[in-house]
Amino acid sequence: ATASVEASALFNAIAAAALKKLEGFNPQALANTAWAFACIGWSNLDIFVALLSPLGTVNHASLNDLDLSQLYLVSLHIQLEFPGQKFPLAHIQSELLTAFKSHEPRPSKLQRDVAAALTRIGWDHIFEFVTREGLSLDMAQPEAMTAIEVDGPTHYLKRKGEQRLENGHTKFKSRILRQLGWTVIHVPYFEWNALTDVAAKDSYLQSKVKGK
């Protein structure tokens, strides 16, 4: 899922194999597999119920904060893909949210640079806005449901030739935001770093926000 592999045939095969071998999965493997399926937008509920139900009875100390953070995003996926379906780990939802918030990155110099440029062009925004679901947005206009996400190097896989590919987590978060009704504008670090002066940066952002 980190590589954003969306091959349905492959994941169908993985799902069939996983369902037969669940007894051999430790808590971390259950959490990681659920994350992988949610990350690609899997729309079959059975695999999530099968993977998450056993976690309801285990000692959650066996899961690290990253596992719990990923399970929080899994909960949002289930909420949005299967309305009305109870999340199997609803009893520890607050713990999952706390872990998720702890893994949200701190503002970077790049992010502050983009925010300053947005202010220059008159795009009023809230810096580091947090949605009611707990998702942190780099810059946002909440009333317009518009967010700007500044994507640094950690948002991408290693370069494949000249092409940079968003990693699974970045695509997952963007998809959830869109499902929640947000318009998400991405500012990739390599595009921003190629801008050599203030005028170029301002012009770049003006075209971004106008073309949303």
| pLDDT for the residue numbered 28 | 92
CA proximity to 181, closest of 210, 142, 155: 142
The model's pTM is 0.85
Token digits of residue 199? 């005028």
Distance between CA atoms of 172 and 127, rounded to whole angstroms? 22
Closest CA to 65 of 95, 33, 25: 95
Q: Give the helix/strand (H/E) hosting 181.
A: none
pLDDT along the chain (212 residues), means of 10: 59 81 88 91 91 86 89 95 92 92 85 97 96 95 97 82 82 94 96 96 96 72
Residue 93, both tokens: 């939802």
